[in-house]
Amino acid sequence: MKSPLLSLPGAVPAEGRDEGVAAHYGDLFREQRALADGTGIVDLSHRGVITVSGKDRLAWLHLLLTQHVSELPPGEATEALILSAHGHIEHALYLVDDGETVWAHVEPGTREALLAYLESMRFFYQVDIADRTDEFAVVFLPAGSIAEVPEGVVVRETPQGRDLFLPRAALESYAAANGPAVGVLAHEALRVEAHRPRLGFETDHRTIPHELGLIGAAVHLQKGCYRGQETVARVHNLGKPPRRLVFLHLDGSEVHLPGHGTPVRLAADGADGRQLGFVTTSARHHELGPIALALVKRNVPVDAELVAGSTAAAQEVVVEP
């Protein structure tokens, strides 16, 4: 779904999973600084929007999700996962309940599979599941923003900022009144700086929540059964996830950033050394320079000097080994 904000001056389309919105509008670092200063809006209208209404909505979602949502207060934001039977991450949902309906936005390209799973688990519960992506667009306002929130718009507020579920027809006029528009590359750079993992970037077919530091943030350890809970409990009790998320400060003299999947090795072993992990997301930050997130084996020493491809990388611990 192509955003109307791609017609704004300087807009450069994003590629890959973020296709459909702008990567940037001509000045990546200016856009990052705008977000850091609490100004600008990020067009996330390529994300899927799903709602669940009905009197059983919270009790029903509580049975399916990794997060405790049975008593979720109206207006309180949370995030949750859906796991496979083996505890691997399949879906990530960013939720808020408005008192009558649970609103969630999800990664581009995942809503069809998620909707199919939710429909298959409806059973006798009084819930109504709907795909609202054609009607509503997600817009992000950074923390401290004084941009207007139109009356009746559902807001999901977190320490990072506010997600607005804005009527899609109002997207262009809202951006004109509350801009400047900021591209997803700036949003991604600040996400990497904050060590926040993203489905499809920091995850693969065997990622478990412990590897990404999602216990607590998206996984509640004191709730009833859900699919994959046995793996969550076992790894939590043993304390030995096979991999861990790290933050990398990359050599700023390199022209190109290491892309997703670039092998990570010990610097002492060079390019022919054993692969210890891979880059998940890299970005150019307006203050920190080139940075990245990576998944590495749990037993990689926390003080080890690494290389991402041919780029020197100093690691910062995100998830303790």
Q: Tell me, what's the pLDDT at 223?
A: 87
Q: Tell me, what's the pLDDT at 27?
A: 95
Query: How far apart are alpha carbons 121 and 195 in whole angstroms?
Result: 33
Query: If DSSP codes are grouped into helix, strand and coil, which group holds residue 5?
Result: helix
Beta-carbon contacts of 297 under 8 Å, excluding residues fewer than 6 positions away, are 242, 243, 244, 276, 277
Q: Tell me, what's the pLDDT at 261?
A: 97
Which residue would you say has higher pLDDT here, 223 or 27?
Answer: 27
Task: Check if the beta carbon of residue 56 is closer than 8 Å to that of residue 79.
Answer: no
Task: Check if the beta carbon of residue 182 is closer than 8 Å to that of residue 34.
Answer: yes
Tokens found for residue 233: 């409990």
**Which of 113, 114, 173, 110 lies closest to 139 in space, CA to CA?**
173
Beta-carbon contacts of 298 under 8 Å, excluding residues fewer than 6 positions away, are 240, 241, 242, 243, 244, 321
Q: Tell me, what's the pLDDT at 98?
A: 98
CB atoms within 10 A of CB 86: 11
Q: Tell me, what's the pLDDT at 38?
A: 96
Task: Check if the beta carbon of residue 235 is closer than 8 Å to that of residue 208.
Answer: yes
Query: If DSSP codes are grouped into helix, strand and coil, which group holds residue 163?
Result: strand
Task: Check if the beta carbon of residue 22 is closer than 8 Å to that of residue 12.
Answer: yes
Write the DSSP assignment of 214-238 as a string of letters. Answer: -BTTTB-SSS---TTHHHHHHHHHH
Kind of pairing between the strands at 128-131 and 48-53: antiparallel
1 pLDDT band, cuts 50/70/90, is: confident
188 pLDDT band, cuts 50/70/90, is: very high
Average pLDDT over residues 128-149: 97
Query: How far apart are alpha carbons 90 and 199 in whole angstroms?
Result: 8
35 pLDDT band, cuts 50/70/90, is: very high
Confidence check: pLDDT of 268 > 80: yes
Tell me how many degrees the CA angle 183-280-203 measures, rounded to the nearest 5.
105
Confidence check: pLDDT of 254 > 80: no
Question: How many C-alpha atoms does 202 have within 13 Å on its Cβ side?
Answer: 28
Q: Tell me, what's the pLDDT at 255?
A: 79
pLDDT tens-digit profile of 4-23? 999 999 999 999 999 999 99
Average pLDDT over residues 244-272: 92
Query: How far apart are alpha carbons 247 and 264 in whole angstroms?
Result: 12
195 pLDDT band, cuts 50/70/90, is: very high
Q: What is the mean pLDDT of the chain?
A: 96
Task: Check if the beta carbon of residue 118 is closer than 8 Å to that of residue 54.
Answer: no
Average pLDDT over residues 278-282: 98
Average pLDDT over residues 150-173: 97
Q: Tell me, what's the pLDDT at 106?
A: 98
Structural domains of the chain sorted by starting position, each given as residue range(s) with its CATH number in brackets: 4-47+135-194 (no CATH), 48-131 (3.30.70.1400), 242-320 (2.40.30.110)
| Per-residue CA distances from 120 to 116, 129, 187 (Å) | 6, 11, 34
283 pairs with which residues across the strands?
291
